[in-house]
Chains A and B, each alone.
Chain A
Amino acid sequence: MIEPITVNNISVSYDGNEVVKDVSFSFKPGSLIGVLGPNGAGKSTLLKAMLGLIHRDHGDVRLGAKSIEEMRKKIAYVPQRSNIDWNFPIIVKDTVLLGTYPKVGLLRRPKKEDKEWAMECLRQVGMEDFANRQIGELSGGQQQRVFLARALAQKADYFFLDEPFVGIDVSSEEVIIDILRQLKKAGKIVFVVHHDLSKVKSYFDDLVLINKELIDAGPVSKVFRPETMEKAYQRQLMLDGLEVSM
């Protein structure tokens, strides 16, 4: 049973500067949510603060009646590509196998069925032919698909993806968005940090729009309007680009 996610008054500051101010929202199971905002709006910070990976000044995240700390094994996180050391000595299938570690637990090794499950996840993203490659030998889109396969291997209920569409090819983008839609259909809750405004309408059903503080959250039709977008992007935005995409 997947519970709704509720974010209550999250604030984060670095060296006394508030970078996320008092953000609250809530989404029901079966949601695919884009987290939007201009550069430096605190999108990735919000994501990490929601997961409790960085210190929150105040606020909390509830999954139904439980705190996110009690539900760690139900959470899959896909980092920004730039945060990974692509020269690390690890091959594709072992990267996906990392997704089974939370379930396997301490002092145990992944079994045959864990390895088969990891291969199945790799197949879902269409990367099974690359199973024995070192991860640095892949293209950006292929790398992103492998990390999505790792998230799938976690059998999580809540997914958090940080900029999965940056610098990847069109076919990888299609594979990824297709899988995210399937997750939504299966009743999961999926958050995607995103910055390309042109695809917002076709990709997401719901949005969280922030610029340090919450501008708006809810269905795309409600949030993705010129007035709210202008408020979030202020002068930074190339206004004409936005008008075209709407």
Chain B
Amino acid sequence: MDFIHDLMTYNFLQKAFVTSIMVGIICGIIGSFIVLRGMALMGDAISHAVLPGVAISYMLGINYFYGAVATGVLTAFGIGVISQNSRIKSDASIGLVFSAFFALGIILITKAGSATDLTQILFGNVLSVRTSDMWLTLIIGGVVILVVGLFFKELLVSSFDETMAAAYGLKTRMIHYAIMVLLTLVTVASLQTVGVILVVSMLITPASTAYLLTNRLSVMVVLAAFFGALSSVIGLYFSFLYNLPSGPVIALATTSLFLLAFLFAPKQGVVIKQIRKMGKRKVATTRN
């Protein structure tokens, strides 16, 4: 209850609270599409690849948003160019491009800033969120929710059956790159909360948890957003209480929720399946 009291009292905590909830929501939404389209590795790649953009922005004295979006989008195109124009498979070209960008980013940050900056960007520090960062996150969040809301139909059909979508005239390649741009925006918005390295856990884990619980994409997206936001709040709480970096705490919170669903989900849960199997065996033996 102290946490709630502090939340009412401290302005920095309120900013952290609002920001991390929005990050949880949009990571869950975009993460749902990333998971279903088999692009989890791509999510990891783009999140790492924004690092040089952040460093360059820092050197130029501009908002890190611009540099991060630039290198994020550049990475998505770079991966596309390599896998489409050579025999290199897509997972290898992802690894190839993002490790290069990440390495470059670490060198640039080390040259430009201090070690503390690097740690914050890598692992997140939600308690240091400034007012401008909060607004940036809220604007990105608004854009992401609006775009997904308006084009939900097209996202659904192109994720499920890309060939049919293309056959009736949807620009499926454009949709792919639009998702990459949204993914970059979400990553940038998540930098302060979870950090570059663990963004992928916010993208993939809440969406995977939701995937185990429903048979409808619309429900999955809403559940993923909810689990994302819940994990953020749990992460913020423990991060504040024990002075831990927020990224890892949030990542472990998403994992805990996933494990619960993995074991106890009504249809897909491992434990439930086991119980059902034993139930059947019992019926079989009593019949004998």
Residues on A facing B (Cβ under 8 Å) = 48, 51, 53, 72-73, 75-79, 83-85, 88-91, 94-95, 98, 101-102, 104, 106-107, 109-110, 134, 150, 154, 160
Instruction: Report yes or no: A109 in contact with B153, Cβ–Cβ below 8 A.
Output: yes
Residues on B facing A (Cβ under 8 Å) = 36, 150-151, 153-154, 156-157, 159-161, 163-164, 166-169, 211, 214-217, 219-220
Q: A144 to B156, alpha carbons, bound, how many Å? A: 20
Q: A169 to B220, alpha carbons, bound, how many Å? A: 32
Closest to A79 in B: B163
Instruction: Report yes or no: B153 in contact with A101, Cβ–Cβ below 8 A.
Output: yes
Question: Given the complex, which residues of A lie within 8 Å of B166, measured CB to CB?
Answer: 53
Q: Contacts A72-B167, A72-B169, A75-B168: A101 and B157 contacting too (C-beta < 8 A)? A: yes
Instruction: Report yes or no: A90 in contact with B168, Cβ–Cβ below 8 A.
Output: no
Q: A51 to B156, alpha carbons, bound, how many Å? A: 21
Q: For the complex formed, measure the closest distance between the CB of B175 and the CB atoms of chain A, giving whole angstroms.
A: 12
Q: For the complex formed, measure the closest distance between the CB of A98 and the CB atoms of chain B, giving whole angstroms.
A: 5
Q: A150 to B166, alpha carbons, bound, how many Å? A: 15
Instruction: Report yes or no: B157 in contact with A98, Cβ–Cβ below 8 A.
Output: yes
Q: A106 to B154, alpha carbons, bound, how many Å? A: 8
Question: Given the complex, which residues of A lie within 8 Å of B169, measured CB to CB?
Answer: 72-73, 102
**Residue of B154, B157, B160, B167 touching A77 (CB-CB under 8 A):** B167
Question: Given the complex, which residues of A lie within 8 Å of B163, measured CB to CB?
Answer: 48, 53, 77, 79, 83
Q: A159 to B283, alpha carbons, bound, how many Å? A: 48
Question: Given the complex, which residues of B lie within 8 Å of A106, measured CB to CB?
Answer: 151, 154
Instruction: Report yes or no: B167 in contact with A89, Cβ–Cβ below 8 A.
Output: no
Instruction: Report yes or no: A89 in contact with B214, Cβ–Cβ below 8 A.
Output: yes
Question: Given the complex, which residues of A lie within 8 Å of B154, measured CB to CB?
Answer: 101, 106
Question: Given the complex, which residues of B lie within 8 Å of A89, measured CB to CB?
Answer: 36, 211, 214-217, 219-220
Q: A111 to B188, alpha carbons, bound, how many Å? A: 37
**Residue of B151, B153, B160 touching A90 (CB-CB under 8 A):** B160
Closest to B216 in A: A89
Q: For the complex formed, measure the closest distance between the CB of B281 and the CB atoms of chain A, giving whole angstroms.
A: 22
Q: A1 to B215, alpha carbons, bound, how many Å? A: 40
Closest to B164 in A: A77
Q: With A53-B163, A78-B164 given, name 12 new contacts (CB 8 A).
A: A53-B167, A72-B167, A79-B164, A88-B36, A89-B216, A89-B220, A90-B160, A98-B157, A98-B161, A98-B164, A101-B157, A134-B215
Closest to B87 in A: A15
Question: Given the complex, which residues of B lie within 8 Å of A109, measured CB to CB?
Answer: 153
Q: For the complex formed, measure the closest distance between the CB of B85 and the CB atoms of chain A, giving whole angstroms.
A: 12
Question: Given the complex, which residues of A lie within 8 Å of B211, measured CB to CB?
Answer: 89
**Residue of B36, B150, B161, B220 touching A79 (CB-CB under 8 A):** B161
Q: A207 to B233, alpha carbons, bound, how many Å? A: 63
Question: Given the complex, which residues of A lie within 8 Å of B220, measured CB to CB?
Answer: 89
Question: Given the complex, which residues of A lie within 8 Å of B214, measured CB to CB?
Answer: 89
Instruction: Report yes or no: A90 in contact with B164, Cβ–Cβ below 8 A.
Output: no
Q: Contacts A85-B160, A106-B154, A107-B150: A91 and B216 contacting too (C-beta < 8 A)? A: yes
Q: Specify which of B154, B156, B220 lies most central, judged by the most chain A CB atoms within 10 Å of its CB.
A: B156
Q: A90 to B160, alpha carbons, bound, how many Å? A: 9
Q: For the complex formed, measure the closest distance between the CB of B83 and the CB atoms of chain A, giving whole angstroms.
A: 14
Question: Given the complex, which residues of B lie within 8 Å of A53, measured CB to CB?
Answer: 163, 166-167
Q: For the complex formed, measure the closest distance between the CB of A89 and the CB atoms of chain B, giving whole angstroms.
A: 5
**Residue of A98, A102, A160 touching B160 (CB-CB under 8 A):** A98
Q: A83 to B159, alpha carbons, bound, how many Å? A: 12
Q: For the complex formed, measure the closest distance between the CB of A135 and the CB atoms of chain B, giving whole angstroms.
A: 9
Q: A72 to B169, alpha carbons, bound, how many Å? A: 6
Q: A81 to B214, alpha carbons, bound, how many Å? A: 22
Closest to B217 in A: A89
Instruction: Report yes or no: A154 in contact with B215, Cβ–Cβ below 8 A.
Output: no
Q: For the complex formed, measure the closest distance between the CB of A110 and the CB atoms of chain B, giving whole angstroms.
A: 8
Instruction: Report yes or no: B36 in contact with A102, Cβ–Cβ below 8 A.
Output: no
- Offer 26 A-B interface pairs, CB within 8 angstroms, sorted by A: A53-B167, A72-B167, A75-B168, A76-B168, A77-B167, A78-B164, A79-B164, A84-B160, A85-B36, A85-B160, A88-B36, A89-B36, A89-B211, A89-B214, A89-B215, A89-B216, A90-B215, A90-B217, A91-B215, A94-B216, A95-B160, A106-B154, A107-B150, A110-B153, A134-B215, A160-B167
**Residue of A75, A90, A98, A150 touching B216 (CB-CB under 8 A):** A90
Question: Given the complex, which residues of B lie within 8 Å of A48, measured CB to CB?
Answer: 163
